[in-house]
Structure 1
Amino acid sequence: MKKARWWVLILAVVLAVAAVGAPRWAELARGTREARWAEWAREAAQALVRAFGREDRTWPDERIYFIMIDRFRNGNPENDYDVNPADPRGWHGGDIDGIIEKLDYIRDLGFTAIWITPHVKNAGRDYHGYGAVDFFETDPHFGTNETVKRLVREAHRRGIKVLFDIVVNHTGPRHPLVQERPDWFHPRRPIRNWGNPVEVQEGWLFDLPDFDQSRPEVREYILSYSRFWLEETGADGFRLDTVKHVPPEFWTWYIGELKKVRPDFWAIGEVWSEAPWELAIYQEAGVPAVLNFPVSLTARKVFAADGSMEELARTIASVMMQLPDPQQTGAFIDNHDMERFVTLAEWDRPLERLRLALTFLFTQPSIPIVYYGTELAMPGGPDPYNRDDFPWGQEEQSELVPFIRDLNALRERHPALRRGTFQDLLVDRWHYAYGRVYEGDVAVVVLNNHGQEAFAEPVPVADLGLADGTVLEDWLSGQRVTVTGGVIRPEVAPKTGAVFVRAGRR
């Protein structure tokens, strides 16, 4: 029996060495002996995790860092074609090499997945990637197809999953198909009535040529480039753009076909709507997950503009009730299509408000998605000013970097925050307390959105299985409370949050 265990260990080490790879060994060899062994140990451990799996991990266990390629980091000046960083609507030089250079930074922040904006070839000034002219080639500003493959390999080596941003609704106006196959597109007309699903699905969004997915040859074409990127790179899944502009029946077929390529294929769809029932349509059609716009937009109002916590609680309850799988959703506090959070909150204590919003983001049921630069409290107005270049060097001084690192560690350490039930404990205009429970792991979250008064009210916790005498500790501050008479009495300062877990489990 002991001999069998030794053989398993030896095989594991061999697999780890193979997973780290010869090029990486050469790279590690250039460091000091201590650094080489420390880095090897970390990478070998990650390789073993990939080889043997880890706790049946699913997407609700992940935390996603969202990157706009052109604005993140310039890793290869040789592909700086027509770059002008002073032009907010032009190319700035960010590329795939730049992301690869900063994968260690992303990993050390605690994120376990990245979502990158479309990397396929665009034309003119379409730095954002959503105006494709070739769905099978990487834009030369970003690198090559080989660069994209290397990104996925390097991310996986660090235990980071990769989501590509895939567009199936439209092309860029300069795509050759617009002239060669005009019958592949709906007639050119704008969307005027947003309450008419047919008009929303067939109109030209932002005057972009709109694919007619009812045509079999169009469906097969879309599937061909989607399958190409999945098979060629080993990416872990897709973020699907403009989902509600495409008929639900297409998504049923499309997701089914991609699951034939990879049974564990996962995607998260952009359904820009504050109505949970509308998100439910697409989950029911087969889209595995959807961006949680109802909760995310409400959270922006609550934490940046003093909206009511009661509205936030009602929105969460509505999503939990109406979606087939409410934990297969992604929440955010800002993204590339809206003003950055700190700009909304700049009228009053933006950093305090951002910290509170992030505490909510990392403790609510959806997958947390953080837009690049949030860890620096980057400001930004409407598009394109919400897409400024990442100011490298400032991350070393940012007080939010360790805070986000701490929140990532909290969510990783406590499965209740990733997989647990969700129960309101107390809610009023300014305060929100809720509990999360999973297989004995318990978290009690208390958020105080009041601008002047501390929160010191009793919070009922008996229904979470916490007996009198149980000592809880706030992950963020270290404050301890004891369950007495079925309640805890925390003290939470204005514009602050607390996350209580069993003492000793921080």
Structure 2
Amino acid sequence: MVVAAGLLQGVAAHSIEPFFTHMNTTDPSGEKSDKLIIYQIFTRLFGNQQTTNNPWGTRDENGVGKFNDITVKALQELKKFGASHVWYTGIIEHALITDYSEYGIQKDHPAVVKGRAGSPYAVKDYYDVNPDLAVDVKNRMKEFDDLLKRTHTNELKVIIDFIPNHVARQYHSDAKPAGVHDLGESDDTTRPFDPQNNFYYLPEQSFQVPQGVAILEDASPVPYVEKPAKATGNDVFKANPDLNDWYETIKLNYGVDYLNNRQTHFEPVPSTWTKMRDILLFWAGKGVDGFRCDMAEMVPVEFWGWAIPQVKAVRPDLIFIAEIYNPQQYHTYIFTGKFDYLYDKVGLYDAVRRLMEGKGSVEDITRVWQQESGEYANHMLRFLENHDEQRIASRYFANDPWTAVPAMTVSATLHTGPMMIYFGQELGVNPTQAEGFQGEDGRTTIFDYWGIPEYQAWTNGQIGKPGKFDGGKLSDDQKNLRKFYHQLNQLVNSSDAIRTGGFYDLQYVNTDGQSAGYDQHRLYSYLRHSARQKLLIICNFDKVKTAKTTVRIPAEAWAALKVDDTKTYTFTDIFRTKTKIKASATAGVPVELPPLSVLVLEIK
């Protein structure tokens, strides 16, 4: 599209290097596949070797990871681990307490910053990177560009966050390209709503910092002033948001008049639409391969359907992932909004989390695929951890990282869509103290300077020296846990049936009445099949009981596999145990699964 190419002038004037053309994700047969393995890194924490860990500690006390800590060796190990994409979280410059004014970066008022290190979802300059992440702050963008190149050289693609719904209260771009008008620069602040304003205003009212906001003792005593007050990011249209609101952010205006029954004003195209599209083009022009779009459903789907095709006209291989929690909107955000993938939090994550906690039933998994199968199962991104969710090993979740074995296997193999692992998930990271603003809540902090002991054991480095990234300080249990995730990634990357094949749920013919010993609430069985490979996958979610039963495969399933159901077959576990079972098609498959175990049986 000529129009899209023209958009790069003055906005994303960077060469599109030829490596993009040969980095498609493909299955072993060379066909295009949606089965990405995304490894999410919280960049600020990844390479930090400091072990001080003082709650509310400063950058210099507790340390901070840098772009340069993600070395060639680190990337090679992630590639060996099986990742296809790395999601670098917290790249774009956001509000923080550390003072970088000597580098021309405007200071942030501590009353509207969460934690010393700040939230990466309170962006203060869309055209710059977080100075905390640079060794040489003056050359911070070059250090990010170098990380991009290193990542691509090691055959990994790069995803970063795009935060379209809100920005930091003191948003101000010091680094915007020539000719770019800043957000809010031309707003009429006397009007609560104007389609061409970038923000929503409360004329004649002053913003009030919520009661209870922790102001650090060494912070500026000067009060925070914002008049007129702007609407807060989580759709709070009042000057005094609550402590639990996203009070550190301001809502962006995409032409929706929230105070008048959400009337839309999309013609002419609102100013925010063009500015946000140009920001996407800027990062796409740098070589970023995809965007995880924060709270995408809080932005009108019409914007996405307008912007994504224009950005993809310049970079056809780009992927867009929507953080979305409303299943009623899935179809719209895929087919109208043009997203490639959606978070599967409300569906599969919630279902398997209940099982991991000893509640729920595998019947919930059947309900999930019935709702998501067909037109968009391959669009659902499956995960068990990310920066928003509690760690599996924590007392707030499963209290044991090994409960992830059946849940992660299902998440990785249920359909052909992508999967994601959060850094340290494979090591059993377990936050046990309040890091500062984050509090002690089972999550790895996104607001504070901190070191992650379990991850430091894997990186195996020293302060001031690059990590060895060999797991040299891991316990045997941690090494075995990481081995499980490594084997699972290898299975996903090598299996034609999992990457591109069909799916067949076997629960309806396997009940305790039909198959003795089959616990229809804790055992989940299904087939994955392609022309080249047939798999029977069985997962035992019970934490205590060994399952000893026979798994039935009905005649119609054998027909779906295009296999003769009058013969005897060998069922070989190609995942963990290498067990071999011989069984006739009509008799069923005798299996024994210890607690929290799985079998991935290839049928031959």
Which TM-score applies when normalising by structure 2?
Answer: 0.67
1:296 counterpart (336, 346, 349): 349
Q: Return the letter of the residue paired with 2:380.
A: T
- Corresponding residue of 1:211: 252
2:457 counterpart (366, 373, 393): 393
Distance 1:70 1:496 in 2: 35
What's the offset of the Cα at 1:495?
1.6
Distance 1:201 1:466 in 2: 54
- Corresponding residue of 1:195: none
Question: For residues 63 and 423 of structure 1, do their structure 2 counterparts lie closer, same or farther at Cα, with a shift above 3 Å needed?
Answer: same
Post-superposition CA distance 1:204-261 (Å, at most 9, x none):
76132111122622111111111001112x1211111111110111110111111121
Whether contact under 8 Å (2:25, 2:36) holds in the other structure is no
- Corresponding residue of 1:236: 289
What's the offset of the Cα at 1:52?
12
Distance 2:502 2:493 in 1: 16
2:67 counterpart (96, 100, 105): 96
Question: For residues 259 and 347 of structure 1, do their structure 2 counterparts lie closer, same or farther at Cα, with a shift above 3 Å needed?
Answer: closer
3-state SS of paired residue (2:128): strand
What's the offset of the Cα at 1:453?
2.6
Larger-Rg structure: 2
1:155 aligns with 2:145: no
What's the offset of the Cα at 1:200?
9.4
What's the offset of the Cα at 1:409?
0.7
- Corresponding residue of 1:227: 281
1:131 counterpart (106, 119, 122): 122
2:360 counterpart (284, 291, 307): 307
Instruction: Indicate the structure with greater helix content.
Output: 1
Which has the larger displacement, 147-156 or 172-181?
A: 172-181
1:106 aligns with 2:106: no
- Corresponding residue of 2:411: 361
Distance 2:353 2:367 in 1: 15
- Corresponding residue of 2:592: 491
Question: For residues 100 and 129 of structure 1, do their structure 2 counterparts lie closer, same or farther at Cα, with a shift above 3 Å needed?
Answer: farther
Question: For residues 51 and 331 of structure 1, do their structure 2 counterparts lie closer, same or farther at Cα, with a shift above 3 Å needed?
Answer: closer
- Corresponding residue of 2:43: 69
- Corresponding residue of 2:110: none
Question: What is the root-mean-square deviation in Å for CA atoms of aligned residues?
Answer: 3.2
3-state SS of paired residue (1:483): strand
Post-superposition CA distance 1:320-368 (Å, at most 9, x none):
15xx3221221111211121112257766x2431222222222222311
Output aligned runs, 1:4-83, within 5 Å.
50=23, 55-56=29-30, 58=32, 60-74=34-48
Q: Which runs of 5+ in 1 are unaligned?
A: 1-45, 78-82, 191-198
1:259 counterpart (279, 293, 312): 312
Whether contact under 8 Å (1:415, 1:438) holds in the other structure is yes
Question: For residues 306 and 413 of structure 1, do their structure 2 counterparts lie closer, same or farther at Cα, with a shift above 3 Å needed?
Answer: same
Question: For residues 96 and 347 of structure 1, do their structure 2 counterparts lie closer, same or farther at Cα, with a shift above 3 Å needed?
Answer: closer
Aligned length: 439
Distance 1:290 1:158 in 2: 26
Post-superposition CA distance 1:292-336 (Å, at most 9, x none):
111112211112333211112212221215xx3221221111211
3-state SS of paired residue (1:61): coil
Distance 2:492 2:570 in 1: 20
3-state SS of paired residue (1:457): strand
1:170 aligns with 2:138: no
Q: Return the letter of the residue paired with 2:522.
A: W
Post-superposition CA distance 1:165-184 (Å, at most 9, x none):
11111111110367744531
- Corresponding residue of 1:370: 421
- Corresponding residue of 1:480: 580
1:87 aligns with 2:55: yes
Question: For residues 89 and 357 of structure 1, do their structure 2 counterparts lie closer, same or farther at Cα, with a shift above 3 Å needed?
Answer: farther
Distance 2:494 2:563 in 1: 19
Which TM-score applies when normalising by structure 1?
Answer: 0.79
- Corresponding residue of 1:271: 324
What's the offset of the Cα at 1:88?
5.8
- The alignment-based identity, stated in percent, is 20
**Larger RCO: 1 or 2 (CA < 8 Å, sep 6+):** 2
3-state SS of paired residue (1:478): coil
Output aligned runs, 1:398-437, within 5 Å.
398-426=479-507, 428-437=520-529
Question: For residues 464 and 184 of structure 1, do their structure 2 counterparts lie closer, same or farther at Cα, with a shift above 3 Å needed?
Answer: same
Whether contact under 8 Å (1:134, 1:175) holds in the other structure is yes
3-state SS of paired residue (1:224): helix
2:570 counterpart (467, 471, 477): 471
What's the offset of the Cα at 1:57?
5.2
What's the offset of the Cα at 1:466?
4.7
Output aligned runs, 1:324-343, within 5 Å.
324-343=375-394
Distance 2:366 2:380 in 1: 17
3-state SS of paired residue (1:387): coil
Whether contact under 8 Å (1:352, 1:496) holds in the other structure is no
Distance 1:145 1:374 in 2: 29
Q: Which runs of 5+ in 2 are unaligned?
A: 1-18, 97-115, 135-139, 173-181, 190-196, 209-231, 238-244, 256-268, 446-450, 459-470, 511-519
Whether contact under 8 Å (1:89, 1:384) holds in the other structure is no
Post-superposition CA distance 1:106-165 (Å, at most 9, x none):
112111111111311112235442111111111111132222222222112221111111
Distance 1:52 1:328 in 2: 15
